[in-house]
């Protein structure tokens, strides 16, 4: 009986100890204020580790959004052994910026993570960029689009893998180009589809088949096939934009993403 009571008292403590720990870091001083990202560490993390890392960017149409959108995904991957990050960036409603300035922030977030790899316990050559909708667009831009100039230009902002949830992949359509004052040149610069190459990072893309952006995913996958680039497009039937935010699709997309990373050697197989 004493053993049972002791085990009962200890087990909640063990469960709490197994949760990922978090830490916030400022990564950029913008004209509108400081930007930060939140790190989610695996329970057994050590500063001298060399783990894979994943950086998430929230959605919200470059207008709004919450830093906590990808908290469930970050906690999941931290429990699986990655160091995960949720990155803030400027948006129109709070900072009066255009989408290309959002993209510049995403580059700076990736550059900061790689530049601090040693103290974060991550491998600078195993960094994954991810995000949903506008955040998926930002992640894709960091891998594929021209890098904006930066004081830390010597540190690459390019991720090694992309995991994208219903992202905008072509900014040149009228629907999007009007967000940057109809400037076709600026739109082309932040259109991942326009910059895809055979040696671009391996990419996993999720869409619902009712999402009107799914045609961009299909165009991206078709171009990837022409280039013999590794793109995997997952289309979920009877689902619309943002379907991955809710059960059971949050879990199913997470498990598929984990398998993709395991196959590429970025994530240990699930025990």
pLDDT band at residue 269 under the 50/70/90 scheme: confident
Which residues make Cβ contacts (< 8 Å) with residue 31, sequence separation at least 6? none
Do 59 and 140 touch, CB atoms closer than 8 A? no
> What mean pLDDT value characterizes the chain?
92
| CA distance linking residue 185 with residue 101, whole number of Å | 15
| CA distance linking residue 23 with residue 175, whole number of Å | 38
pLDDT tens-place string over residues 127-136: 999 999 999 9
Is pLDDT at 2 greater than 80 in this prediction? no
80-84, 145-149, 205-209, 212-216, range with the lowest pLDDT: 145-149
| Closest by CA position to 129, among listed 108, 150, 148 | 108
pLDDT above 90: percentage of residues in the chain: 86
End-to-end CA distance of the chain: 32
Per-residue HEC secondary structure of the chain comes to CHHHHHHHHHHHHHHHHCCCEEEEEEEEEECCEEEEEEEEECCCCCCCCCEEEEEEECCCCCCCCCCCCCHHHHHHHHHCCCEEEEECCCCHHHHCCCHHHHHHHHHHHHHHHHHCHHHHCEEEEEEEEEEECHHHHHHHHHHHCCCCCCCCCCCCCCCCEEEEECCCCCCCCHHHHHHHCCCHHHHHHCCHHHHCCCCCCCEEEEEECCCCCHHHHHHHHHHHHHHCCCEEEEEECCCCCCHHHCCCHHHHHHHHHHHHHHHCCCCCCCC
| CA distance linking residue 168 with residue 159, whole number of Å | 18
Domains of the chain: 22-263 (3.40.50.1820)
| CA distance linking residue 191 with residue 202, whole number of Å | 17
| CA distance linking residue 18 with residue 106, whole number of Å | 30
What is the pLDDT at residue 271?
A: 60
| CA distance linking residue 122 with residue 85, whole number of Å | 12
Instruction: Taking residues 79-85, report their average pLDDT.
Output: 97
Do 186 and 215 touch, CB atoms closer than 8 A? no
Instruction: Taking residues 140-148, report their average pLDDT.
Output: 95
Give me the count of residues in the chain.
Answer: 271
């Amino acid at each position: 009986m004493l053993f049972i009571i002791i085990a009962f008292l200890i087990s909640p403590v063990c469960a709490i100890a197994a949760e990922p720990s978090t830490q916030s870091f400022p990564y950029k001083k913008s004209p509108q204020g400081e930007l930060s990202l939140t790190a989610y560490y695996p329970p057994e993390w050590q500063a001298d580790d060399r783990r894979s890392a994943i950086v998430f960017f929230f959605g919200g149409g470059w207008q709004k959004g919450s830093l906590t959108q990808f908290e469930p995904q970050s906690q999941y991957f931290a429990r699986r052994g990655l160091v995960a990050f949720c990155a803030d960036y400027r948006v129109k409603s709070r900072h009066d910026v255009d989408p290309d300035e959002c993209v510049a922030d995403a580059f700076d977030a990736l550059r900061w993570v790689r530049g601090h790899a040693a103290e974060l316990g991550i491998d600078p050559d195993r960094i994954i960029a991810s995000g949903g909708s506008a955040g998926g667009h930002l992640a894709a831009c960091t891998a594929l689009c021209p890098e904006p100039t930066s004081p830390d230009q010597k540190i690459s902002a390019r991720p090694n893998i992309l995991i994208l949830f219903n992202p905008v992949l072509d900014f040149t359509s009228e629907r999007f180009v009007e967000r940057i004052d109809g400037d076709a040149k600026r739109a082309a610069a932040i259109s991942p589809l326009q910059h895809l190459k055979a040696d671009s990072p391996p990419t996993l893309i999720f869409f619902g088949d009712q999402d009107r952006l799914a045609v961009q995913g299909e165009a991206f996958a078709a171009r990837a096939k022409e280039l013999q680039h590794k793109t995997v497009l997952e289309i979920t039937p009877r689902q619309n934009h943002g379907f991955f935010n809710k059960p059971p699709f949050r879990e199913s997309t997470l498990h598929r993403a984990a398998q993709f990373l395991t196959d590429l050697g970025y994530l240990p197989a699930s025990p």
